Chains A and B, each alone.
Chain A
Amino acid sequence: MTGPAPQVRLVRVELPHHLRVLAQVGSEVTLEVAGPVTLRAVLDALEARYPVLCGTIRDYGTLKRRPFLRFFACQEDLSHESPDAPLPDAVQSGAEPLLIIGAIAGG
């Protein structure tokens, strides 16, 4: 006997300019995320749909956030949150996007 299928949610993700160009998408993509909507789950879904983004947001192997990228949502800085922590309700419901932003650096 199997349990109920995990709930699938539509999560919006906003990408920085260079990653939009690389993935050939607009400023925002919508992803299907099954199960708990965490940073890890969203990034897994993003990379699965756009494999060209593998390695550009998280390092291969460690899956750590690249140092000059930040994650924001609902006016909160999520960059240092656990990748397995649930994202804010508004992101889970699709009301607000998860923002992936290049840190301001380089003058």
Chain B
Amino acid sequence: MSAAWDDLVEGSGPEAREYGPLTRTDFVRYQGASGDFNPIHHDEAFAASAGYPGVFSVGMLQAGILATYCTDWLGAEHVRRFAVQFREQVWPGDHLVCSATVATKHDDGDARTVDLDVLVTRVESGGTAIKGTATFVVP
């Protein structure tokens, strides 16, 4: 069940969740599912020709992990907006931690919504992979 209105507190969120270590197989599986076949995420020679030390994850993979982490909390049917900025790249072997906090609660009488700050952190480097915001309705 998704979280109830009274349980949502500005500045708080659900328990963070760790994923990984991410593998090349995870990248390929996401590319097959999404239809984004940019070879920079699976072809080592292509990635090297672009000046990278090797293949790296698809940004939309960690965005998708973060998105479903959020819907686990507030419900798949309740999402109304999900927006991310891609910061650091994610590399094979990285562990990721997803977290979310309530930024603002809105109750205009007709509809109740929450705005969230959402984040994907790279465990090993401590860097930020994704910073974003999301809006959910809360029945």
Chains A and B belong together in one complex: no
